[in-house]
Structures are given as C-alpha cells and as structure tokens.
C-alpha cells in the first residue's frame, strides 16, 4: 500500500483538485484506492457527493473506538472509496497530542488498511501542525501544488526544511506547478526557469482551466467527464510521475 498526500502549507493552490483526479486515475487502473479527506472544510467529500460526517468524529477514529473501514463510503467510481471529512477534524491536532507517539498516529491507523487498499490518497488541510507531521511521517510521497509565482521557490524550500525536521524516514516530494496560465509571460518564464532551480520539480504542469472550476458544479473529477481536456491529460502525466517516484 502506498500513501500519497496532497499537501501544502497554503490553501487554494489545487490540493483537493489534484487529490480527487489522481485518486480517480489510480482507481481506473485497477488499484484499490481510498481517498481520505482530512480537511474539515470537506472539499473532496463535497466533490464526491458524500455527506461530510464521521460518527464520533476524528477522535473516535484516532482513539480506535471506530475502525476506519467502518466509516468508508464507496464513491460512484470503480475501486475508489472515500473516507469523509468531518467538522471535528479541525481539532485533530489536539486529539493526536493526547496520544503517545503523537506524530505516528496517522501512519499506525493507515496500517489497518494495508490489506484493503493499494493506494491511499490524503487530501490535507493547509497548515503546519502536528497533523502535518503525521502526514509527512505516514506518506510515501507528498504531492505539492505550487502556484506560479516568484515566491513559490521559497514556499518549496520552507516545506523541505519542515520535512527534514520531522523525525523518521522522509517521504518523496513531487512538487508541481498548478493553475499555470500560458498567456501570461510571468507564468511562461517560471515554467522555463523553475525546473532548473529545482530539479525535482514535476515535469507535468497543470494549466489553469475553466473546466477545472466546473468540477465544483459537476461534482465529479475532471478526468471522469472530460478525459480529453488539457488539464485532465496533465493530471494523467502527473499520476505517471507520481508512480515513478515512489
């Protein structure tokens, strides 16, 4: 079982969009996939039309009063299940903090699923916190969307610094440019320049596209209903890079 986390310190950068589409692509290849919406805002849960509710909240899961598989919901797509968001996830930091080995709780929980799933995709809330440390320790690969801005290099460096400080084996990092508008010179320049300054950067670039925004209206991953679109193809390439990277 591989754990892939869509992660960033920032919000609104394309984490949920990437998580939903990559999860759907993985499932389409016949992998058994679980997408866990860890964000109390429940963006991914909404996209899959599932009720954002976990009985007993995050605490019941972390304290193992309830098994993860018992709160899983099948999505409308083959091989793809969802572990829904719950508003209580906003206190997940506190719940983890009350446990021993608090930075390893998430990894331990995910171990229970290793027979059931081939891939777990974590859709994370934007933050640097105990939850983030858990995610870093549990993940095999962090998928990091970067907005095309001169600041994004610094964001990435900060993130790598954070990962290096977390104990245990570090996950791989696959950062990619998100919402790139090729009509803008700045974006074009950054697409040229950033890979040189950051050789580990994904070669796939996700274009800004109104189709992606439509996902919120259609409430289904883009790769499902517009598989031929530029953005869907870009997600396909990104998924291939992710597979090659772990």
Partner 1 sequence: MTRDLTVDDHDVDVPLDAIVTTLSARAEPRQRTQRTWYDTFDWRLHRAGLLLEHQVRADHGWLALSELSGRRIVRVPTGETGETGETGTISVETLPEGAIRERVTALTGIRALLPRTSVEGPVTMLAALDREEKTVARVAVEGPLVVDGGGPLPVRLRVEALRGYDKEARRVVRKLAAVPGLRSAEEPLFGAACHARGLRPGEYRSKPEARFEPATSAGDALAVLLGELLEIMRENVDGTLRQLDTEFLHDLRVAVRRSRSAMKAAKGVFDEEERTAYAAELKWMGDVTTPGRDLDVYLLGFDQMVARATDPEALEPFRKLLTRNCRKAHTALNRALRSKRFARLADGWSSELARQDLPGPEAGTPIARFADARLSNSWRRVRKRGTAITETSPAEALHDLRKRCKDLRYLLEFFGSLYDETAHREVVRELKRLQDNLGAFQDAESQRYMVLQYAEELAATSAPARTLLAMGRLEAHLERRQEAARAEFADRWSRFDRGRNRRLFNSMVAAR
Ligand X SMILES: Nc1ncnc2c1ncn2[C@@H]1O[C@H](COP(=O)(O)OP(=O)(O)O)[C@@H](O)[C@H]1O
Chain residues in the site for partner 1 (CB under 8 A)? 28-32, 48-51, 71-74, 76, 78-79, 81, 118, 219
Which of 43, 58, 148, 207 binds Mg ion (CB under 5 A)? It is 43
Select the binding partner of residue 163 from Mg ion, partner 1, ligand X, none (C-beta < 5 to 8 A, by kind). Answer: none
Q: Which does 81 bind (CB under 5 to 8 A by kind): ligand X, partner 1, Mg ion, none?
A: partner 1
Q: How far is the CB of 82 from partner 1 (least distance, A)?
A: 8
CB of 32 to ligand X, least distance (A): 24
- Residue 88: DSSP 8-state: G
Binding piece for ligand X, criterion CB under 6 A, among 78-86, 95-103, 127-135, 213-221: 213-221
The packing angle between helices 152-165 and 185-197, to 10°, is 30
17 near ligand X, rule: CB under 6 A: yes
φ, ψ for residue 230, nearest 5 deg:
-55, -45
Of 216, 219, 225, 240, which lies in the binding site for ligand X, with binding defined by CB under 6 A? 216
Toward ligand X, which CB reaches closer, 80 or 147?
Answer: 147
Cβ burial of 69 (10 Å; 0-12, 13-18, 19+) is middle
Beta bridge partners of 82: 35, 73
Q: Is 147 helix (H, G, I), strand (E, B) or coil?
A: coil
39 or 133: CB nearest Mg ion: 39
Residue with smaller CB distance to partner 1, 201 or 222: 222
70 CA to centre of own chain? 22
> Reduced to 3 states, what is the DSSP secondary structure of residue 116?
coil
> Whole-number minimum distance, CB 56 to ligand X, in Å?
25
Q: Please give the residues from 6 up to 25 whose contact with Mg ion meets the rule CB under 5 A.
A: 15-16
Is residue 87 within 8 A of residue 46, CB to CB? The reply is no
The Cα–Cα gap between 177 and 89 comes to: 28
Does position 16 interact with ligand X (CB under 6 A)? The reply is: yes
Asked if 50 is part of the footprint of ligand X (rule: CB under 6 A), the reply reads no
Choosing from 4, 147, 206, 226, the residue that interacts with ligand X (CB under 6 A) is 206
Residue 60 vs residues 74, 86, 93, 136: alpha-carbon distances, Å: 20, 11, 14, 22
Using rule CB under 5 A, residue 85 touches Mg ion: no
* Four-point Cα dihedral 7, 200, 25, 171, nearest 10: -50
Contact residues for 189 (Cβ-Cβ < 8 A; gap 6+): none
193 binds, among Mg ion, ligand X, partner 1, none (CB under 5 to 8 A by kind): none
CB atoms within 10 A of CB 59: 19
Binding residues for ligand X (CB under 6 A) = 11-17, 43, 178-179, 206, 208-209, 212-213, 215-216, 231
């Amino acid at each position: 079982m591989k754990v892939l986390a869509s992660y960033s310190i920032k919000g609104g950068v394309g984490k949920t969009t990437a998580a939903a589409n990559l999860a759907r692509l993985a499932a389409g290849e016949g992998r058994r996939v679980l997408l866990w919406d860890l964000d109390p805002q429940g963006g991914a849960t909404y996209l899959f039309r599932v009720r954002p509710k976990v009985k007993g909240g995050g605490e019941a899961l972390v304290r193992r009063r309830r098994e993860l598989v018992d709160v899983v919901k099948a999505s409308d797509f083959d091989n793809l299940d969802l572990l829904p968001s719950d508003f209580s996830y906003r206190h997940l930091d506190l719940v983890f903090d009350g446990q021993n080995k608090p930075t390893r709780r998430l990894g331990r929980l995910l171990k229970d699923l290793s027979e059931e799933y081939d891939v777990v995709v974590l859709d994370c809330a934007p933050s640097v916190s105990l939850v983030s440390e858990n995610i870093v320790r549990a993940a095999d690969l962090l998928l990091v969307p970067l907005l095309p801005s001169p600041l994004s290099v610094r964001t990435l460096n900060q993130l790598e610094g954070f990962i290096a400080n977390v104990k245990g084996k570090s996950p791989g990092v696959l950062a990619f440019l998100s919402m790139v508008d090729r009509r803008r010179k700045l974006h074009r320049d950054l697409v040229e320049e950033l890979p040189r300054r950051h050789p580990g950067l994904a070669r796939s670039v996700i274009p800004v596209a109104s189709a992606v925004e439509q996902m919120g209206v259609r409430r289904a991953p883009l790769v499902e209903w517009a598989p031929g679109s530029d953005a869907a193809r870009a997600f396909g390439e990104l998924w291939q890079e992710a597979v090659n990277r772990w």
